[in-house]
């Protein structure tokens, strides 16, 4: 049997197999050879994604996104205990009316029979007896106001903890003191591992730091004394993990670029020996068995086993689906970007409101469709495997073209003649007729993460590190604005430029700057938003959707217990013109909400698109001695 719900963390446990946690708060033991399920834990009534996962002395310890701490028996996966995130705390240290805050925190430190983990209240840390599950102490968080993101106890007496603000601290769980701190990143340090071969620590980066912040990132090497020794920048997006073979002769690292980098760690020099590409999605976790088998988890839930050299052995065959984008063609028909291609649906109405009747899902044969843009009679789209394409409404492929790097957004020019794609290698403009390249745009050699046409035909580009430029039709730069935060999407509405990403949703007046921002209570990157009837609805990577008044920017409401990441937001209307919010998520879930008075969000219905296994075609690149990304 194959797991049915998306996995979010994996850990190889010698003598047992591959342990995994899922999006609904369960854990599973997979066969290390064929990746089928050997046993699973019971359903948890308050089941939420378990991001923190650790094993010690026959127990499995987990932490979910709301801060609940769970304990299972390793031999049976029976749930043995759960600490509630709302009540297990020191009340004297809380703000008036404070509630647990959701966060995808992975940090669990286990030492001398004690579990150290930051709680649902991020300023506090729980110290729990591993064997009795008694709460021994509630103390101030080692990491201050940030949740502990990782805890490394692999060094004999020097422990390391990281947080979500780029800090790495050294000390000991025995004393609870971590006096030595070093700043390595402007964001998360997802993983810290001790390299016993060279007596040093490896730490990952999300954003990078200093001059390369939001430009390039990778892994950083730090001595046990907390001195930064070296770094290798190989990524344009979050690095999620680093792990080693049993003898530490090889290291494996990767992340949201979707590439697995294999390091030759026989000597102290940082050197990537080869890079494996072609995974179905971003990489979120990796673990290595004692025999050297490497297990890689993709964000879509697929698990792939490889030999130590990166040669694929098998994949789990997880049936995945996601709704990445929803674009309306004419008010009655919408297109949906999915893991397998593009779905076409009609907006129909029953007695409770609008309903999307899916008429077809056209498989492209490419990687997942990340974004789409409506063209006359169909859509243009971009895929994870570096392609831009055009489909007509019947699903016929009009054309497809390769791209030089990972694409992020796609838009169509006001006259419908050109298609603009933002990529890590600049922006590419192609003909909407045949996909032939027209021209390329560059902004200081930086990755471009969003692009849009202004009504005048001018091109606006936004780099990963937040530089926004407006280019005239002849390519001349007419305005530059360094707003300093990475984008995820951009569009023009009612004469204003809207940009979502780090820092929330921003309304920008060309030639002036940011005139309004909506971000309150959103705990992570804003992935998408819509502006409708005087309201703003924004979805975040924290599994949240918030509502705000547009004119005043006043906060109006929040949903933060969604079953998975919201990716696509759109508005449809019933025959009376009443707006309904569509929220497309991972898992293929499409939810419809009535919005506005008397309730900000009123769930009407859920629909799920069919799920299918991913297509994975891994390829290997042998890297040169210097492999830097600047």
pLDDT at 412: 97
The predicted model gives 404-428 an average pLDDT of 97
Name the DSSP class of 91.
Answer: G
Q: Mean pLDDT in the chain?
A: 94
Q: What does the alpha-carbon distance between residue 432 and residue 373 come to, in Å, rounded to a whole number?
A: 11
Q: Does the pLDDT at position 619 exceed 90? A: no
Give yes or no for residue 385 having a pLDDT over 90.
yes
CA distance 93 to 124: 8
According to the model, what pLDDT value does residue 278 have?
A: 92
Q: What is the per-residue pLDDT for 617?
A: 76
Whether 464 and 486 have beta carbons less than 8 Å apart is answered as yes
Residue 624 pLDDT more than 70? no
Helical residues (DSSP H) of 148-254, grouped into ranges: none
| Tokens found for residue 27 | 């854990």
Question: Looking at the predicted structure, is the pLDDT value of residue 138 above 80?
Answer: yes
One fold for both 51-90+100-319 and 320-613? yes
In this structure, the number of other CB atoms found within 10 A of the CB of residue 249 comes to: 15
pLDDT tens-digit map of 588-602: 999 999 998 778 999
**Which residue matches tokens 């020019």?**
413
Confidence tier at 44 by pLDDT (50, 70, 90)? confident
Integer Cα distance of 539 and 572 in angstroms:
17
Helix, strand, coil % in the chain, rounded to nearest 5: 0, 55, 45
CA angle 519-281-248, nearest 5°?
A: 105
**CA 453 to CA 346: how far, in whole Å?**
28
Residue 616 has what pLDDT? 72
Question: For 76-108, what is each residue's pLDDT tens digit?
Answer: 999 999 999 999 999 999 999 999 988 899 999
Q: What is the pLDDT of residue 598?
A: 78
Helix (H/G/I), strand (E/B), else coil: 254? strand
CA 630 to centroid of chain Cα atoms = 22
Average pLDDT over residues 503-524: 95
Assigned CATH class of 320-613? mainly beta
pLDDT at 625: 42
- Segment 171-189 mean pLDDT: 95
The confidence band for 623, taking pLDDT boundaries of 50, 70 and 90, is: low
- Domain residue ranges of the chain, discontinuous segments joined by +: 51-90+100-319, 320-613
| pLDDT value for 630 | 52
Amino acid 25: pLDDT: 96
For residues 6-20, give the mean pLDDT.
97
Per-residue model confidence (pLDDT) at position 473: 86
Judged against a pLDDT cut of 80, whether residue 74 lies above it is answered with: yes
What is the rounded radius of gyration, in angstroms, for the C-alpha atoms of the chain? 24
The span from the CA of 236 to the CA of 241, in Å, is 15
Strand stretches in 84-144, DSSP E: 109-111, 114-118, 124-129, 135-140
Question: Does 524 have pLDDT greater than 60?
Answer: yes
Q: What is the DSSP string of 46-76?
A: T---EEEEEEETTEEEEEETT--EEEEETTT
Chain centroid offset of residue 126 CA? 27
Q: Is pLDDT above 60 for 628?
A: no
* Bridge pairing between strands 323-328 and 319-320: unpaired
| pLDDT higher than 90, residue 626 | no
Query: How far is Cα 241 from Cα 228, in angstroms, rounded to an integer?
Result: 19
Any idea which architecture 51-90+100-319 has in CATH?
7 Propeller (2.130)
Ranges 225-229, 398-402, 597-601: which has the least confidence: 597-601
- Work out the pLDDT band at 629, boundaries 50, 70, 90: low
Cα-to-chain-centroid distance, residue 607: 23
């Amino acid at each position: 049997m194959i797991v049915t719900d998306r996995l979010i963390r994996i850990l190889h446990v010698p003598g047992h197999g591959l342990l995994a946690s899922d999006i609904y708060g369960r854990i599973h033991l997979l066969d290390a050879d064929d990746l089928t399920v050997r046993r699973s834990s019971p359903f948890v009534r308050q089941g939420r994604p378990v991001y923190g996962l650790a094993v010690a002395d026959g127990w499995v310890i987990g932490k979910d996104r709301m801060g609940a701490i769970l304990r299972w028996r390793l031999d049976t996966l029976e749930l043995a205990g759960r600490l509630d995130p709302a009540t297990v705390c020191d009340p004297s240290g809380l703000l008036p009316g404070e509630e647990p805050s959701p966060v995808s925190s992975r940090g669990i430190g286990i030492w001398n029979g004690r579990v150290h983990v930051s709680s649902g209240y991020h300023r506090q840390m729980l110290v729990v007896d591993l064997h009795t599950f008694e709460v021994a102490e509630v103390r101030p968080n080692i990491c201050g106001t940030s949740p502990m993101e990782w805890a490394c106890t692999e060094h004999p007496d020097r422990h390391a903890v990281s947080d979500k603000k780029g800090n790495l601290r050294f000390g000991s769980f025995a004393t609870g003191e971590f006096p030595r701190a070093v700043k390595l990143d402007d964001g998360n340090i997802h993983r810290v591992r001790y390299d016993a071969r060279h007596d040093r620590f490896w730490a990952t980066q999300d954003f990078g730091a200093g001059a390369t912040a939001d430009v390039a990132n990778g892994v950083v090497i730090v001595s046990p004394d907390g001195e930064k020794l070296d770094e290798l920048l190989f990524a344009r997006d979050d690095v999620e993990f680093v792990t080693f073979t049993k003898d530490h002769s090889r290291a494996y690292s990767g992340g949201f670029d979707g590439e697995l980098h294999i390091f030759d760690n026989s000597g102290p020099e940082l050197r990537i020996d080869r890079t494996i590409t072609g995974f179905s999605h971003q990489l979120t976790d990796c673990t290595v068995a004692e025999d050297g088998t490497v297990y890689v988890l993709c964000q879509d839930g697929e698990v792939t086993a490889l030999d130590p050299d990166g040669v694929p052995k098998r994949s789990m065959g997880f049936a995945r689906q996601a709704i990445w984008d929803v674009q309306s063609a004419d008010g009655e028909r919408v297109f949906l970007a999915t893991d397998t291609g593009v779905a076409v649906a009609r907006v129909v109405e029953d007695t409770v409101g609008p309903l999307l009747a899916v008429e077809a899902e056209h498989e492209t044969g490419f990687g997942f469709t990340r974004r789409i843009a409506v063209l006359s009679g169909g859509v243009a789209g971009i895929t994870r495997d570096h392609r831009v394409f055009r489909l007509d409404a019947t699903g016929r492929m009009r054309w497809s073209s390769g791209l030089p790097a990972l694409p992020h957004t796609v838009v169509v020019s006001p006259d419908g003649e050109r298609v603009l794609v933002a990529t890590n290698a600049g922006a590419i403009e192609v003909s909407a007729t045949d996909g032939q390249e027209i021209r390329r745009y560059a902004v200081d050699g930086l990755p471009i993460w969003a692009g849009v046409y202004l009504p005048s035909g001018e091109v606006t580009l936004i780099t990963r590190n937040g530089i926004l430029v407006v280019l005239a039709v002849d390519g001349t730069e007419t305005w530059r604005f360094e707003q300093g935060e990475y984008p995820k999407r951009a569009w023009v509405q009612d004469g204003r430029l809207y940009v979502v990403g780090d820092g929330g949703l921003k309304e920008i007046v060309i030639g002036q700057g940011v005139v309004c921002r909506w971000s309150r209570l959103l705990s992570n990157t804003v992935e998408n938003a819509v502006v409708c009837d005087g309201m703003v609805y924004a979805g975040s990577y924290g599994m949240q959707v918030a509502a705000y008044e547009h004119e005043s920017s006043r906060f109006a409401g929040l949903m933060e217990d969604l079953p998975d990441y919201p990716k696509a937001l759109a508005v449809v209307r019933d025959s009376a013109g009443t707006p309904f919010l569509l929220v497309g998520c991972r898992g293929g879930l499409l939810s419809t909400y009535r919005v506005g008075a008397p309730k900000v969000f009123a769930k009407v219905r859920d629909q799920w698109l069919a799920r299918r296994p991913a297509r994975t075609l891994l390829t290997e690149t042998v890297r040169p001695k210097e492999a830097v990304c600047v």
